[in-house]
Amino acid sequence: MTRKLPNTIRRNGPALAAAAVLLAVWQAVCSVGLVPGYMLPSPIEVASALVKDWPALWENAQITLQEAFYGLALGVAIGFVFAVLMDAFDVLYRAFYPILVITQTIPTVAIAPLLVLWFGYEMTPKIILIILVTFFPVTVGLLDGFRAVDPDAVGLLRSMGAGRWQIFRYLKCPSALPHFFSGLRIAAAYSVVGAVISEWLGGFGGLGVYMTRVKKAYAFDKMFAVIILISVISLALMALVELAERRCMPYRHLREKS
Amino acid sequence: MEKLEVRHVSKAFDGRSVLEDVSLTLREGELVCLLGVSGGGKSTLFNIISGLLKPDAGQVFLDGEEVTGKPGKISYMLQKDLLLPYRTIVDNVALPLLLRGVSKQEARQQASALFEEFGLEGTQTLWPSQLSGGMRQRAALLRTYLFSQNVALLDEPFSALDTLTKSAVHEWYLAVMERIRLSTLFITHDIDEAILLSDRIYLLTGQPGRICDEIRITQPKPRPHDFNLTPEFLVYKRAILERL
Ligand SMILES: Nc1ncnc2c1ncn2[C@@H]1O[C@H](COP(=O)(O)OP(=O)(O)OP(=O)(O)O)[C@@H](O)[C@H]1O
Ligand SMILES: [Mg+2]
């Protein structure tokens, strides 16, 4: 029998290898000069831009993170309230679900300038935009979760004398947790992207503003650096959600532990 | 004394009669079985007894008190154990106590005290997915017991278990029922199971469901292991088969 590699390496090995190959190809393309250096900076140049520009990047990232955090927190809270109300009152579900779906078909870049005109260049329009893009996945996730509850389980709790609130607390809410977290993961990713887009369209600080600034200067290496930073922040947020998920639902990860 | 009494219950769904004038009784310490064809309205009758459904006519009495259409008095257990995957076994089992307003700690204590009796010792902090099918059913049964100490309604409780587990669970159930003075009304499709366990069997014919006969199994308990191979057993079985 061959010796087993640690699980994480075995699972993520192919992805890491593929990423390494892509980076190598990118570096080679730049070194050989297939693409002019001012249009496509090499990975090494991008890395050095990231390091050199770090103070400015970090300062702007903090603003973006703050917006994303407030927007996400409010979006999740609003999404939760919507889901609970729409689950409790079928009329509300039928009245508002189609409208909610329609709000999601409006492109973010189209409403962001409007929000700037209405609410100015400060944080408010950004947070509103993030709320608009994050509450929906949370609401839909929770609604799916509430609706997937086994009617027999509801019957059982009712037969044991449970009222509506108790059924919500002991059955619906915890049963919807996995659905909630899949919604939250998407919402977390959207929140960063939403913050950046709204900063593009007007603001005094944040990674989006920084991006427009370096774009005007044709600083491609800095462009790439900020793009990478945004991805890393999104990934980190998603990892945080995943961590919270494992904390809240230990029973879903039993097999991996033993 | 009559633990549970169902008097002249009828129920129709969308004008289609499902139960017609069903009456039955369950006395203290008795195990009574409801045997009938699929779709005969047995589960509907249980929903009426537990108060989840209101009958079109008729009444349900528990210890002489009318409980028709009042949930929260009699619980039941289904073929699926309905243990909640996100609660540990002890928290699953203690759920009826929490619903009644008992504090979490107190509920856990009361539940834990019965774990050994129900063959569940050491499983308190496990998750439902870590138990075998037989153990899960026992946990579900303990939950039912913690809810209503003296009447259990079981809707095909053991039908998902394999034959060997099933007969072990049967034996265990009869013993535990004796010790905790439980009265049981239970539904099954399995004629052998009905004869093995019951003091009395109600036969239910379908569409609409009505009770066509009541059979008393006089063989004293505990019944010998090979009861199902005896001529008496076959006499009962033939009688039931003829009537259904
Ligand atoms: N809520 C309901 N609305 C309409 N019809 C129903 C409802 N519940 C049950 N029925 C119908 O009533 C009939 C009896 O159903 P029930 O589940 O009580 O039968 P059963 O004897 O338990 O059957 P089985 O042995 O298959 O479990 C069935 O024809 C079923 O379709
Ligand atoms: Mg049934």
Q: Cβ of A155 and B130 within 8 Å?
A: no
Residue A241 belongs to a domain with what CATH number?
1.10.3720.10
Gap between the Cα atoms of B36 and B34, Å rounded: 7
Please check whether residues A72 and A135 belong to one and the same domain: yes
- Smallest Cα distance from A161 to chain B, Å: 3
The answer to whether the CB of B156 falls within 8 A of the CB of B82 is no
Strands B183-188 and B151-155: parallel
Mutate which of B10, B11, B17, B18 for ligand 1 pocket (most atoms within 8 A of beta carbon): B18
Mutate to test the interface with B, among A154, A160, A165 (most CBs of B within 10 A): A160
Of ligand 1's listed atoms, the one at least distance from the Cα of B36 is: 21
Please check whether residues A121 and A33 belong to one and the same domain: no
Please check whether residues A47 and A21 belong to one and the same domain: no
Q: Cβ of A251 and B98 within 8 Å?
A: no
Please check whether residues A164 and A229 belong to one and the same domain: yes
Gap between the Cα atoms of A13 and A256, Å rounded: 18
As for how many domains chain A has, the answer is: 2
Instruction: Tell me the pLDDT tens digit for each residue of A176-204.
Output: 999 999 999 999 999 999 999 888 888 88
Please check whether residues A176 and A56 belong to one and the same domain: yes
Confidence of residue B165 (pLDDT cuts 50, 70, 90): confident
Of ligand 1's listed atoms, the one at least distance from the Cα of B206 is: 21
Q: Which residue in chain B has the smallest CA separation from A154?
A: B82
Burial A157-178 (b: 16+ CB within 10 A, else e): bbbbbbeeebbbebbbbbbbbb
Instruction: Tell me the pLDDT tens digit for each residue of B109-151.
Output: 999 999 998 889 999 999 999 998 888 988 998 999 888 877 8
The answer to whether the CB of A131 falls within 8 A of the CB of A187 is no
Gap between the Cα atoms of A200 and A180, Å rounded: 30
Question: Distance, CA B38 to ligand 1 centroid (Å)?
Answer: 8
Mutate to test the interface with A, among B47, B84, B104, B123 (most CBs of A within 10 A): B84
Spatial CA neighbour of B36 closest among B216, B187, B234: B187
Contact residues on chain B for A152, CB-CB shorter than 8 A: 78, 80, 82
DSSP secondary structure, A102-127, as one string: HHHHS-HHHHHHHHHHHH-SSHHHHH
Instruction: Tell me the pLDDT tens digit for each residue of B65-114.
Output: 999 988 888 888 888 889 999 999 999 999 999 999 999 999 999 999 99
The answer to whether the CB of A195 falls within 8 A of the CB of A234 is no
**Alpha-carbon distances, residue B67 vs A159, B7, B34, B138 (angstroms):** 12, 12, 20, 27
Question: Distance, CA B50 to ligand 2 centroid (Å)?
Answer: 14
In the numeric block, the tokens 């050199």 are attached to A52
Please check whether residues A139 and A242 belong to one and the same domain: yes
Mutate to test the interface with A, among B47, B99, B126, B155 (most CBs of A within 10 A): B99
Please check whether residues A32 and A145 belong to one and the same domain: no
Q: Cβ of A159 and B52 within 8 Å?
A: yes
Pocket of ligand 1, beta carbon within 6 A: B 13, 18, 38-44
Instruction: Tell me the pLDDT tens digit for each residue of A37-81.
Output: 777 888 888 889 889 989 989 999 999 999 999 999 999 999 999
Please check whether residues A27 and A92 belong to one and the same domain: no
For residue A4, the model assigns a pLDDT of 60
Q: Cβ of A166 and B75 within 8 Å?
A: no
Question: Distance, CA B43 to ligand 2 centroid (Å)?
Answer: 4
Spatial CA neighbour of A204 closest among A97, A126, A114, A108: A126
Please check whether residues A25 and A83 belong to one and the same domain: no
Q: Cβ of A161 and B100 within 8 Å?
A: yes
Neighbours of B149 (CB within 10 A): 10
The answer to whether the CB of B118 falls within 8 A of the CB of B176 is yes
Please check whether residues A50 and A18 belong to one and the same domain: no
For residue A184, the model assigns a pLDDT of 93
Gap between the Cα atoms of B205 and B20, Å rounded: 10
Please check whether residues A114 and A233 belong to one and the same domain: yes
pLDDT of A36 > 70? The answer is yes
Residues with Cβ within 8 Å of residue B59, at least 6 apart in sequence: B6, B7, B8, B9, B66, B68
Residues with Cβ within 8 Å of residue B169, at least 6 apart in sequence: B134, B137, B138, B158, B161
Instruction: Tell me the pLDDT tens digit for each residue of A145-171.
Output: 999 899 999 999 999 989 999 999 999
Confidence of residue A10 (pLDDT cuts 50, 70, 90): confident
Question: Distance, CA B199 to ligand 1 centroid (Å)?
Answer: 26
Sheet holding B16-27, edge to edge: B16-27, B2-13, B57-62, B65-66
> Is the ipTM beyond the 0.90 threshold?
no
Mutate which of B42, B53, B190, B207 for ligand 1 pocket (most atoms within 8 A of beta carbon): B42
Tell me the residue range of the domain where A188 lies: 41-257
- Smallest Cα distance from A152 to chain B, Å: 8
- In angstroms, how far is CA A123 from the centroid of its own chain? 19
Please check whether residues A29 and A60 belong to one and the same domain: no
Confidence of residue A116 (pLDDT cuts 50, 70, 90): confident
